């Protein structure tokens, strides 16, 4: 389906839980979290019904995220069910990696092929500062397990000035060693935390300049790397591919192809949306025609571009919207 700006919407991001086993300072910092009752969260059956309705208007790609999706019991079974839907061409998972090794067999048996793993530092002490809990070695073991089992792995790194910006080239070298892709992501103002001001913001242009110490950056136009907004480059003479998601410094909204479903059944036209469309009520009233109508409304309500500014946090946590 086309939105009002002639963008084809074929990608649904689904947050299956607002819970997480980390407390990252830019996503779900301690003291900010308000847990939802189980009755407020969409069941897997309800999620599948939404996806089936979405396929009738052209959605063919699914990203499952959270919170941390792997902490929800039955996540791998949901992935398998999504992968088996006849009109779904691609299903991928975004995870913090802590539980990947534990569930790697089930993920592979489900038919999953692609995985994004969030990791913002390669330093164990800094990991505890950024993530609030958890252990870096568990994430690294998860990355290795995914690679060893043939998954296409991309690392997501949220850049923060004065926090992890001294690890830019180290991440590129790590990606080269592991033969995977690393993507550098600009900090986005989604939750009111101590990081959401200009002092901690680092543009992808700064990251690119620092990476040039390893070699010149050659643009790559390859859809095989993903369906999102990232721009990809090869570091010449370094055998490494890096990506950049420049949400603030270089808006990519003109090519946006997605809508977002929260764990509580709110359909969000945009990551920056303050309000969404409640699908949960009509789902539970078995009014699928109303769900389809709301889906159409949400797509037509997509703005021409997001209105993020660094000092204006939104009412939703990143963990609720699904990143």
pLDDT number for residue 310: 47
Per-residue buried b or exposed e for 197-220, using 16+ beta carbons within 10 Å of the residue's own CB: eeebbbbbebbbeebeebeebeee
Residue 176 lies in a domain: yes
- CATH code at 42? 3.20.20.70
Residue 4 lies in a domain: no
Domain count, the chain: 1
Q: What are 185's strand-pairing partners? A: 158, 245
Whether the CB-CB separation of 204 and 177 falls below 8 Å is answered with no
pLDDT tens profile 226-260: 777 889 999 998 889 999 998 777 777 878 899 99
Average pLDDT of the chain is 90
Residue 3 lies in a domain: no
Residue with tokens 């926090």: 163
pLDDT number for residue 109: 99
pLDDT number for residue 198: 65
Sequence-ordered list of residues with C-beta below 8 angstroms from that of 306, at least 6 positions apart, any chain: 247, 251, 253, 270, 271, 272
Residue 103 lies in a domain: yes
CA–CA separation, 172 and 235 (whole Å): 9
Q: Is the torsion defined by CA of 59, 63, 65, 70 positive or negative? A: positive
Query: Which range marks the domain in which residue 252 is found?
Result: 11-321
Helix (H) or strand (E) holding 63: strand 61-65
Residue 248 lies in a domain: yes
pLDDT number for residue 241: 95
Q: Is the torsion defined by CA of 191, 162, 181, 102 positive or negative? A: negative
pLDDT number for residue 110: 99
Residue 191 lies in a domain: yes
Mark the ranges of the chain whose per-residue pLDDT is less than 70.
31-34, 190-198, 222, 224, 307-323
Residue 239 is given by DSSP the state T
pLDDT number for residue 59: 98
Residue 112 lies in a domain: yes
Dihedral angle computed from the Cα positions of residues 248, 62, 284 and 291, in that order, rounded to the nearest 10 degrees: 70
């Amino acid at each position: 389906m086309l939105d009002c700006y002639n963008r084809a919407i074929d990608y649904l991001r689904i947050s299956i839980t607002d819970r997480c086993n980390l407390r990252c300072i830019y996503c779900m910092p301690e003291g900010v979290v308000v847990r939802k009752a189980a009755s407020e969260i969409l069941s897997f059956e309800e999620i599948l019904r939404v996806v089936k309705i979405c396929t009738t208007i052209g959605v063919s790609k699914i990203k499952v995220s959270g919170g941390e999706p792997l902490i929800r019991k039955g996540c791998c079974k949901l992935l398998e069910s999504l992968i088996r839907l006849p009109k779904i061409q691609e299903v991928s998972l975004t995870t913090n990696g802590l539980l990947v090794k534990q569930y790697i067999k089930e993920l592979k048996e489900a038919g999953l092929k692609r995985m994004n793993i969030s990791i913002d530092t390669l330093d164990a002490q800094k990991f505890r500062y950024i993530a609030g809990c958890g252990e870096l070695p568990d994430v690294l073991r998860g990355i290795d397990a995914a690679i060893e089992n043939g998954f296409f792995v991309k690392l997501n790194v949220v850049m923060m000035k004065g926090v992890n910006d001294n690890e830019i080239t180290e991440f590129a070298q790590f990606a080269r060693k592991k033969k995977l892709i690393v993507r550098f992501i600009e900090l986005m103002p989604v939750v009111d935390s101590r990081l959401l001001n200009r002092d901690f913001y680092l543009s992808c242009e700064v990251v690119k300049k620092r990476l040039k110490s390893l070699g010149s950056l050659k643009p790559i136009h390859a859809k095989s790397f993903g369906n999102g907004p990232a721009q990809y480059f090869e570091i010449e003479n370094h055998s490494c591919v890096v990506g950049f998601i420049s949400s603030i410094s270089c808006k990519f909204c003109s090519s946006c192809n997605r809508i977002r479903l929260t764990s509580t059944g709110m359909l969000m036209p945009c990551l920056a949306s303050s309000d969404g469309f409640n699908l949960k009520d009509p789902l539970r009233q078995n009014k699928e025609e109303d769900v389809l109508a709301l889906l159409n409304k949400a797509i037509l309500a997509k703005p021409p571009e997001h209105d993020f500014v660094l000092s204006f946090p939104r009412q939703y946590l990143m963990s609720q919207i699904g990143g």
